[in-house]
Structures are given as C-alpha cells and as structure tokens.
Structure 1
Amino acid sequence: MHGLFKAITISHKKAPLQLRGQIALNEEESKALMLKMRETFDVSEVLVLSTCNRTEVYYVSENNLGESIIRLIASQKVLNSNEILPYFEIIDDHNEAVRYLFEVSMGLHSQVVGDLQIPNQVKHAYQWAADVQMAGPFLHRLLHTIFFTNKKIVQETSFRDGAASTSYATVEVMETFLPLLSNPKVLVVGLGEIGEDVCRTLADKGYKNITITNRTLEKAQNLANELGFEVADYQFVNQNILQADIVISSVRCESPIITKETLKDKTLAVKYLIDLSVPNSIATDIEEVTGVVAYDLDTIQRRANEALQRRMEAIPQVLSIISDAIGEFNNWSQEMIVSPTIQKLKGALEQIRKEEMARFVKELSAEEAEKMEKITASMMQKIIKLPVIQLKAACKRGEAETLIDVLNDLFNLEKQTV
C-alpha cells in the first residue's frame, strides 16, 4: 500500500460556507459515495470525512482518481462539477496525503486551531468506512495510529487545553456556575453564526433543558428538531427571559433588548446573562439588578484568545509528535511490501521441512518423531530470522525490491501462495 494513498479536499480555506453546505455529506450519503467508488473504480479502502468546514475523500489506489471522485460527488449532490472543481485540492502524493490526514485529525487545519470536535468526526468517518467494508489493513492501521497520536498530544501538550472558540468559551464560562444551579433552564436568543455554534456546542456536550428563540421561527424550529431542543416564539422573548436561569444572547439589535426594565419582574434569585452581540443586546448596567451576573463578548473572547494562544505555542510540539508517529507508520507501511515475500519464504521452507520429515518419520518412534518435529521447526525459525531482518532493513533503505528478486530466484517463490 505504500505510495498509493491519496486525497481530495474542499474546506473553509477556499470554499464559501454556502458551497460547503451544498457539498456536505451525511452518513447515508458518505456510505453511498464509498460504495459507488468501489463499484466504479474498484477501490477497496476509502474514508469520507464531511463536516461543516470540510468534505474530504481519502482512498488507496495506484491511479489519481481526484477529478473523477469530484464528479461523482457533483452527480450525487446534483451540482455542476466544472463549477465546484476549482474549490477542491487534489493530493496525489502518498506522504503528503498521510501527513494531511494526521494534521486534519489533530485540528491543525480547523477554523479554530485544535478543534475539539474533529477527532470524534474522524472516528465517525472511520466507523462509516468499516460499516460498508471499505476500511482495509492500511486504513485500520493509519486511523488507529492517528487516534493514539491524538491521545499523546492531549497528555503531553497544551494543544487541547481551554476553549479557543467563542462558542466553546461561552459554554466553558457557563459551566463555571452550573454547579450552583439545579437543573437550570437555558435560553439562547438569536441564531446567527455564533448563536448556532453555541447551540451545537451545548448539544455536543449533552446539555438538555435548552430553549432557543429567533426572529425567524422556521430557522429555530429546524435547529431545534436537529438538536432536540425546545423552541420559543420570539414575540414572547421578554417572558422567556424572565423564566430562564441562564440567557445567552447573540441577537442583532440597534439597542439592548435586555435591560433593567426587562428584569423588573424577575422572580429567580440569581440569573446569569451572557452577551455575545455587537452592538450589545444586554444593557451594560444590567448588574445593578440584584441577583444578576453578566458576561460580555470581550470577557468571552479574552478567554478564547488566551486558550488559542496556548494552542498556538504548542504547535511545534504537536508537529514533532505527528512526525514521529508518521515515521513509525511509514515503517509499517513499507514493510507491507515485503510481507507477501516473507510469507512465501516461510511457506517454501516449511514445505521443505515437511517433505524431509515425511522421508524419515516412518522409521522413528512416536517420541523420536515428536522430538524431530520440534528440532526441525526450531531450525526453520532460526533460518528464516536473518532474511526477515534483512528484508525489513532493505525496506528502510528503499532496496527491498532487489532482495525480493533474489529470494524469488533462490527459492522459486512465485509458485508459492500467501
């Protein structure tokens, strides 16, 4: 498999959000694409990774199938392939594709560096490939190496520490006071980009008792259905604010929608307000109301920026860990080249041993035959040891093919089956 790994990718780096949304593949579509690739191109190992920020296909093939795969996706999504082709990057180099998947899986190419969601998204993609029998020995080894590397990065670096995005920082702030509340009611007001990200982060973390409200009711209903949240009519927003323990507001407005007047009938002992809007949607003097604790966007972003800075400082260490992991993986990948020869050589020597044993075993007692079996089997293990070591060493030097040819000629291995 060494030298055959390739990829195509479309991501936030080149493609606008609307186009990424049109190309994004859900589980059913990803599995259908993998099966179509097997049928069309006779490939047996494929990984499809599709998130809100990227859609990527990794595959094992002697041929560069990049453009053909893009056209398959266009056909599946009913898009003009010529229009979307310029937004894709085709990676035809094996080593580059391997490193790219490592770096994507660690979050180095995410919009938020060190994205906490991407490792799970890669695991889901791997599971989908396994479900349709499109994860073979190469992908199994590669993905398990990546998962091990991610754990090592978590344990040995600060790359995953803290919340480096506004949405994660918001939820992280919320988590500091959750222990003070009993089954709190959370209201998210406004579903712009930040508001929607906060909702998805809350869902990813498994939080319940979440209500969302938005000027466009249909958008709120669609997101609520997807995430399992409740919906409140925006025309009753003030009433909903009074009923909530925690309010996260990212609504666009010319002047604050939550003021001291809004909370004049507040019955809850303590209410927590988080303002993610620009301009402010929560009045700056809101904490003058007894029992109100407020956080503004600057506080949240300062927390996110500090976490992001720690992650950026950890990148050299992360890259070093990735390089070590890739080196070990490549050693295994290269050894796959000589694995069939090793198995054939073992088979050839075992056949010689059995033929010679058959010549003399009739003349031996059962006890003698058992001893002879052990002695000859042990001899074969010692004889095979040096050629195996030399083959693996030749792999690292890039000289395996020469030694394979020599062994094929010496032992007539072409007639052996693996």
Structure 2
Amino acid sequence: MTQLAFAHPFQALSLSFKHAPLEVREQLALNEGECHQLLRTLHQELNLSDLLVLSTCQRTEVYYAARTDRNEEIRQALGQLKNCLIGPGWERYFDVLPDATAAAHHLFAVSLGLEARVLGDSQIIGQVKQAYNWSVRAQAAGPFLHRLLHSVFAAHKRVQAVTSFRCGTASVSSAAVELVAELTAHLPVPRVLVVGLGSIGTDLCRQLTARHPFGHVSLCNRTHAKAAALADAYGLHLVAFEALSAALRETDVVISAITCPQAFFTTRLVAETMEPGSRKLFVDLSVPRSVAPAVARLPGVTLYNIDAIRAKTSAALQQRQATVPQVRAIIAQHLSELHTWSQLLQVSPLIHRLKNHLELLRQQELNRYGKHLSPAEIVLLDATTRSLMQKVLKRQVLQLKLWCQRDSPRPLAAGLTALFDLGSQLTF
C-alpha cells in the first residue's frame, strides 16, 4: 500500500465476506431505503460528513470523515436500523480503516474489483456509483469524497482502457452460470428459472444467453414490465409472478436473486412443488438469503448460496490475476494525485488570506494616490497594480503546489504567514 499520509480525517468501517460469514452479513445487509435512512442518521444525528454507505451481497461499509473514531456509534446505528443486537463479540467481523490513506486505498480496491470474491467483478463499480449518488442527494458528500469518487471513476476507466483486468465475464453471476452448466451437463435441455431481476438477475440473463445457451430459460419478477422487457430483449420465456408455483414444478434449476428481508422460498413452498423422484437445483444469490437453508434437507434438492459459489479457475480469471500489478499501479497514481489535491485543499485558506491581504493593500494605495490622478490614470493604475499582484500571487501559489507535491507545505506556509503577517498558521 502507498505510504502517502493524508491530512484529511477520512476513515471507514467494513463488514465483508473476508471476516463475516453469510449468516452475519445477511443480518446487516441494507436495501435502498435502509441505506438512505442510515445516511440520514449518521449525517444528521452523528454529524458525520463525507459519508458513503455501500451495501452489496458481499459487504456493508460506511466511509466517513471525523476527527475521532466513531465506529462503535456507527455499529450501533446499523444494529438499531436492522433490529440486530451488535455486542462486543461482533467487532471481529468488522475491518477498521483508521485513516484516509487506508480508507481511500480500500475504496479504490473495492470499486475496481480487487476486493471482490470473484476477482474483477464488474458489478461493484455500478453499486459504488449508486451509493455516491445517494450521498450527494442526501447532501452528505463533502469536497474530499467528491474528489475521491471522481478519482475512483477515472481509475476505473483507465483500467478498462489500458489493461485486460476486465476481460472475460468472471463475476458472481457468471460463476453461478458456470456452476449451473457444470451441474446440469447430464441434462439434454436443462430448464432454468431466474427469479428476481435486480442488477444480478439482469446480468444473469445476459450470461445465460451469451455464455451457456441453455435450452429453456424463464424469468419471473414481481414487476411484470421489467421481466417482459428482459424476456423480449434476450428471447427468454416469461412467467407471471402469480404462476410461480406452477413454474417451479416444471423447472430443473432455480436461480434466485430476490431482494427480501426473509426467505421467500420456504421449505413448504419448495416441498409442494417437488414431484416424487424429481431433482431440483437452487442457486441463491441473495443477501439476505431468499432460499431457506432448510430447503437443502428436502429429498432431491441441492442448494448453493452465494458463499458456496466458488470463483471458477478460468482463463479470464488467470488473465485478470496477471494484470493485478497494473491495476495497483493505476490506483497508486490516482492516490498520489488525490494526495496532492488534498494538500492543496489544506493550504487553500492560506492562499485566500494572502490574496485578500494583498488586495486590501492594493485598494488602500489606490485610495491614497487616486485622489491626485485623473480618471484615465486611475484606470491605468488599477490595471497595473492588479497585474502586479496576480504575478506575485502566481509565483507563491506555484511554490505552494510544488511543496505540496513534495509532501511538505508546512515550511513555506509558515514563511508566507509570517512574511505577510497573515495571523495564526493553519493546522495541518
């Protein structure tokens, strides 16, 4: 990791698959409304700024700016929102990114897919953009978060343009499709039913038709119009939500990407759709889980949840692994640029004070000598002194920027403060 030291008090709290099992993550997974509610609570009640709330099937994370550690308060706010008692033993499930260097680097790595269960997962960047838009609408994003996220998006574009890190279709949905293809290879025409058409469900449709031309794929969603549009776009069959139980009887594979607070596919529902001697594969990509774990105990049923879907060792993944150093180099460059900008942000009040100080002196001298000059001479003197002041400022600001790039603006800032008698020095 880069050794840059940011002065900004940015930090993060992360709950992810790396330390938290699925049964923990699903208790704290947030839907869109809950993300908005947590944003409001943290911003308005805890007075946190530069807020980003990110919740996916693999992680729930909060990025924020504060001079002190507010992680315990954030954990409790999250627990209250989800009606989940978070005790001391839960701390082991969370990663703490205690400073801006660690938190910014982590957000880059998460957004670009380096921290994904499936390396280079392309869905996460869209989820980060959505979380950023929520923060902006809630007026919880400050200058540092704005700049950080735009740096992340720029790095994402560079990774796509100059590396092969995003080549292939390795993602959670593609891994699920590969798993289904492997487990149904013995069936001449496997019948697949996709239930739930969020971002993962939509990507599943593309994967099922593009990579593995299954003989019969059906879609079912509570919102009929969305299912109809996707079915038409990909040439798939459409199942009305009211006819789901009947469709289950005729299906070999059910891939569930439903967003719901509790299991939709209960043991009773599945048992009622199982014919004697039949076999059925359930792939649950939802967090919280949409297929009750007890379903796996029903005769003839095989169940895989999102943690059980292994990343397929494919040529695409091997190629991505080989380009990881390139991706890390791109991240390092964007972090360096962000660091320079953040240093300039720290000295910008000094620059404004210097500009105001020189402008005040200029106006005083214009008033002093202007009464002895003609209107034309006053205009000329005003233009001359303004130009001179801008040239002086340009040189000093340029030097400040150069010193910021060397990570040492303090000496020059102190010198300028003393030289021009600008008052108390900035706190870096």
Is the aligned partner of 1:315 residue 2:324?
A: yes
Is the aligned partner of 1:68 residue 2:73?
A: yes
Aligned alpha-carbon RMSD (Å): 3.9
- Taking the TM superposition and a 5 Å limit, the aligned residue runs for 1:85-164 are 85-164=91-170
> Is the deviation greater in 163-172 or in 73-82?
163-172
Counterpart Cα distance in 1 of 2:312 and 2:102: 34
> In structure 2, what residue type is equivalent to 1:230?
A
- Taking the TM superposition and a 5 Å limit, the aligned residue runs for 1:142-221 are 142-165=148-171, 167-168=173-174, 188-189=192-193, 199-202=201-204, 211-212=218-219
CA spacing shift, 1:399–1:237, aligned 2, 3 Å:
closer
Structure 1 gaps, min length 5: 173-185, 213-219, 242-246, 259-280, 282-300
Identical-pair percentage: 37
Counterpart Cα distance in 1 of 2:423 and 2:101: 30
Structure 2 gaps, min length 5: 1-5, 179-189, 210-215, 229-238, 257-269, 281-299, 301-309
CA spacing shift, 1:316–1:376, aligned 2, 3 Å:
same
Task: Give the alignment's TM-score, normalised by structure 1.
Answer: 0.72
Post-superposition CA distance 1:236-289 (Å, at most 9, x none): 667x67xxxxx966799998869xxxxxxxxxxxxxxxxxxxxxx9xxxxxxxx
1:334 deviates by 1.2
Counterpart Cα distance in 2 of 1:308 and 1:255: 38
Partner of 1:349: 358
Partner of 1:40: 45
1:166 deviates by 6.5
Task: Give the alignment's TM-score, normalised by structure 2.
Answer: 0.71
> In structure 1, what residue type is equivalent to 2:112?
M
Post-superposition CA distance 1:129-180 (Å, at most 9, x none): 00010111111111001001100000001111111146326779xxxxxxxx
Contact residue 175 and residue 311 of structure 2 kept, 8 A: no
Counterpart Cα distance in 2 of 1:196 and 1:41: 32
Counterpart Cα distance in 2 of 1:319 and 1:371: 55
Contact residue 25 and residue 50 of structure 1 kept, 8 A: yes
- Taking the TM superposition and a 5 Å limit, the aligned residue runs for 1:255-334 are 305-334=314-343
CA spacing shift, 1:63–1:35, aligned 2, 3 Å:
same
Q: Which has the larger radius of gyration?
A: 1
Secondary structure at the aligned position of 2:119 is classed as coil
1:396 deviates by 3.4
Equivalenced residues, count? 348
Post-superposition CA distance 1:303-348 (Å, at most 9, x none): 8712111111111111111111111111111111111101110110
Contact residue 170 and residue 198 of structure 1 kept, 8 A: no
Contact residue 167 and residue 197 of structure 1 kept, 8 A: no
Counterpart Cα distance in 1 of 2:75 and 2:408: 36
> In structure 2, what residue type is equivalent to 1:410?
L
Partner of 1:412: 421
Post-superposition CA distance 1:375-411 (Å, at most 9, x none): 1111001111232223223333443233323322332
